[in-house]
Amino acid sequence: MAGKRTIRRVLIANRGEIAVRIARTLKEMGIAALGVASDPDLSALHALVCDQVAPLGGTTPLETYLDQEKILAAAKAMGADAVHPGYGFLAENASFAKAVEEAGLVWIGPPPESIALMGDKLTAREAVAKAGVPVIPGSPALSDPALARAEAERIGYPVMIKASAGGGGKGMRVVRSAEELEASLEAARRESGKAFGDDTVYLEKFIERPRHIEFQVLADRDGRTVHLFERECSIQRRHQKIVEETPSVALDERLREEMGEAAVEAARAAGYANAGTVEFIFGEGGKFYFLEMNTRLQVEHPVTEMTCGIDLVRHQVMVASGEPLAFTQKEITRRGHAIECRIYAEDPANHFFPSSGVIRALVEPSGPGIRNDTGVYEGAEVTTFYDPMLSKLVCFAEDRRAAAERMERALRSYLVLGPSTSIPFLADLVAHQAFLEGDTCTDFIPKYMEGWTPRADKKAEAALLAALAGPARAGGGGAGAGRGREAFDIWQALGRKGL
């Protein structure tokens, strides 16, 4: 193992709520949190929270948070000795991880070789299969329609076309018959090439009504590897997770142990170090198959932190500095139940179309068992340049029913005036009887929430008016009070003449 490195100044190569969340742990550890910001983000919350911020110049992701040279130049200029990529942007870019290390900086993430291996779904499948981890029946890389037809017949319809380099639902198509295959294959290749610069696709057996269950893993640089139990992430829209929870109602202790061991073996097969997530497709009859490995911190990591009492970012930094794991598998315990809802600036009643604008008023939920990892403040502007996630709301309680009820109450009290948000949709979702009964397969939204429309909520409006009229607001409010705020008629903003 390489020698230990002292980490005093960390560049967070990201933005939004994850940059804020990382910065807060760094400060608790006595480490300087260094940030970067595009032109639209110079007054964003992460830029206000960080100890020092380097402007990147520009607006688009390609000319800002995806520009490796700019990020590395900022790290050098601010005297960073380590880089934490968060998730998204450059977090799973093996060449960037290698460039960070070649610049003499500590990469707070897995080795570049592990990122490259697991970043290609075909090589990842091969590696974990050799380690004895179950994989979904699939094909090699495909471009020839005749070979695709033969492979689909061998696997058996329905099949799913997947992008080898992909993620986030890009380059994916479900094909239920031979007649659909060729057109779907070409469409998936076009989408994959546009999204990832690589049009390689392959086939997998499509599992009907699956659950998406993943295991958090953590490994040190000497190969000691543990898992921190599972998260269920089955409720998705357009293959993007929006609700996550732990533990999963689908697992008994035998399956939980078996899947946890498979996750650890998958990580070892990748020569893994640091935090990562092994994702499985879970089908009927308790069968599970390796899906992919995310070589980074996951969006949904707070539910694991809430139930295990472990700060994953802190342990990422410790492992990156050369420290051994602070606990063994037997020493990891958890209690209670945690649910996370991703809060987006989007309109669920209009196909989840992104929304933008100034946040005129913001009332965040609080109370026992409530955590809100946010990247915005009242007066901040939500732009169209980046992912529209505003925050991640997490609720913890002693059991699942209590956690769901707490989440519904928290969402009903979470008020944002300005851009449309997914909050009312999520509140109705977690209150749905099917969710409460644990029927949380990946078809939940089309099956139970199709045609959803928001309901009028006079109590929420009254609470918002009370908050707007409160004496604390006269003093300016939160982190960015006054920024972008203009006088406005509350009744006009609510579209009503009175309660």
> What residues are annotated to the active site?
296
Cα–Cα distance for residue pair 263/282, rounded to 1 Å? 13
Query: Rounded to 10 degrees, what is the CA torsion of 427, 433, 436, 440?
Result: -90
- The CA–CA distances, whole Å, from 450 to 42, 92, 118, 124 equal 38, 34, 35, 35
Diameter of the chain measured on Cα atoms: 71
Q: Is the dihedral of CA 85, 89, 94, 95 positive or negative?
A: negative
Q: What is the distance between the alpha carbons of residues 355 and 418, in angstroms, rounded to a whole number?
A: 9
CA distance 22 to 320: 14
Give me the residue label for tokens 């006009």: 492
Could you give the C-alpha distances from 99 to 73, 93, 373, in angstroms and in order? Answer: 12, 10, 30
Instruction: Report the 10 Å Cβ neighbour count for 145.
Output: 13
> Taking Cα atoms as reference points, which of 278, 267, 371, 373 lies closest to residue 325?
267
CA distance 15 to 65: 8
Is residue 290 within 8 A of residue 135, CB to CB? The reply is: yes
